Chain A
Amino acid sequence: MREVKYEDIVKAVRDHIVYSGTNLSKDALASLNRAYEEEESPVCKEVLRQLLENADIAASEDRPLCQDTGLAVFFVKVGEDVKVVGGTLKDAINEGTRKGYEEGYFRASTCEWDTRANLKDKLGYNLPAMIHFDLVAGDELEIEYAAKGGGSENVSRATVLAPAMGRAGIVDFVTKVVSDAGPNPCPPIIVGVGIGGTFEKAAISSKHALFRELGTVNDDETLKSMEEELMTKLNNLGIGAMGMGGRETVLGVHIEKLPCHIASLPVSVNVQCHSSRHTSFKL
């Protein structure tokens, strides 16, 4: 058994949260630069210029990129030969989240569903973190993190299609979700799609798809071709940056798949705004 200290996890989580909330990820920055160069619409080009300037200001002055610093979402692969000492892994991730959000002057955005009362005093600043654990072979801890804002989460949708609807049905569903969302999720957006599994697994896959680096190519030939088809179709909607009418609507479409039940074709679409704040690290 390899031992990993509770305090080391807290510190790593805290530091990665603060850094990624103030320094736009390299892949998102490169993608926004490309969109800025290629956009034909003057009003959207100005929006993209502001976003690039915003990223500069945030990084140089250590300020949050966006006031919606999101809920903290984690995908954690736990090696079966790892033992956390000094506390539990879940507590360490939550404590790192609390410290990162509070010490980084980020916003506490968790609340009760009905009274909408903020949970910062009851549970802790921006707690709980949204954590997905997976148990794997080995003696490492692999932690993927993203800050997920509310505006893009609000337009995300899941469904279960009839198997006969197939690829065309999936493409139509994704297109409808993005078209209906229009300006609301802060385009240009990243579109995560989860196909297959059960209802909830499709949703989790669509979330995980957003963690993939922009500009990377899917190693599944069918999914790669669907991603290309959707990129063209979604950019043809004409939504543009902040929905003001333009060519650059989508920075990337990322699809993950799982085996299905013989009766079902679950599909989930999780939308990410242009401020894609994500990182990963190993301990």
Chain B
Amino acid sequence: MSKTYHLTAPLSDEDVEQLRVGDIVYLSGVIYTARDAAHKKLIDLMDEGKELPFDVKGSVIYFVGPTPPKPGDPIGSAGPTTSYRMDSYSPRLINEMGQKGMIGKGKRNQEVIDACVKSKAIYFGATGGAGALLARQIKSAEVIAYPELGPEAIRKLEVVDFPLTVVNDTNGDDLYKIGRAKFEVKD
């Protein structure tokens, strides 16, 4: 039976080790946005031995490219993008830099799932296409790196009770496989 948790980012090993696939997490605190273009820049900095634009240890990275904010709003609609485009970058951020959480939608490859086990991290699913609803849980947004990337710039977000489901946990389980097997009807 799935459980419900309220957690605050950045996350610790203890925070993530208790979570199992299918659990609901309401996340508050500070998280960072990055899509593939920003991930590539982070990995390039790591290769050059340079400092990254935010502290990755314990961090949760949200894969999102929001719409422009309307006047007076911190951010526009902001639902998750498809995560596989980050598969070639996420394991290094988890294994070498201590990233603890990823928020996106869609399947991850085995390297990401293995990194979640090895270095204790979680892949959370947010509801794709619920960009207006999810934006309500974002209280502030500030571009902290790569403004030239527009919607793909790295933003520091302050979130309150951001609704998430655990898709890949520190046991190596995958909700997409387990959930589907439960409801599949064979011919």
CB of A57 closer than 8 Å to a CB of B? yes
Interface string of A54-77 (1 = CB under 8 A from B): 100110011111111100000000
User: What are the residues of chain A within 8 A of B182 when measuring CB–CB?
Assistant: 41, 238, 245
Q: Indicate if the CB atoms of A184 and B106 lie closer than 8 Å.
A: yes
Q: Indicate if the CB atoms of B65 and A107 lie closer than 8 Å.
A: yes
Q: Indicate if the CB atoms of A43 and B2 lie closer than 8 Å.
A: yes
**Which of chain B's residues 51-79 have a Cβ closer than 8 Å to chain A?**
64-70, 76-79
**Which of chain A's residues 226-246 have a Cβ closer than 8 Å to chain B?**
233, 236-240, 242-246
- CB < 8 Å: which of A61, A107, A154, A184 contacts B151? A107
User: What are the residues of chain B within 8 A of A114 when measuring CB–CB?
Assistant: none
User: What are the residues of chain A within 8 A of B68 when measuring CB–CB?
Assistant: 105, 107
How far is B141's CA from A266's CA once the two chains are assembled, in angstroms?
Answer: 48
Q: Indicate if the CB atoms of A67 and B82 lie closer than 8 Å.
A: no
A50 to chain B, nearest CB (A): 5
Q: Indicate if the CB atoms of B184 and A63 lie closer than 8 Å.
A: no
Interface string of B100-111 (1 = CB under 8 A from A): 000001110000
Q: Indicate if the CB atoms of A154 and B184 lie closer than 8 Å.
A: no
Interface size class of B (residues with CB under 8 A): 35 or more
User: What are the residues of chain A within 8 A of B178 when measuring CB–CB?
Assistant: 245
CB of B150 closer than 8 Å to a CB of A? yes
Sample (19) of A-B pairs whose CB atoms are under 8 Å apart: A41-B179, A43-B179, A47-B127, A51-B129, A58-B132, A66-B131, A67-B76, A68-B81, A105-B67, A107-B76, A120-B150, A150-B82, A182-B106, A182-B180, A184-B84, A237-B184, A240-B183, A243-B107, A245-B175
Q: Could you tell me which B residues sit within 8 Å of A by CB distance?
A: 2, 22, 24, 37, 64-70, 76-79, 81-82, 84, 105-107, 125, 127-133, 135-136, 150-151, 163, 165, 167, 175-176, 178-187
**Given A50-B130, A65-B77, A67-B67; 10 other pairs, CB 8 A cutoff:** A50-B127, A51-B127, A58-B77, A64-B132, A67-B131, A107-B68, A107-B76, A151-B106, A244-B176, A247-B183
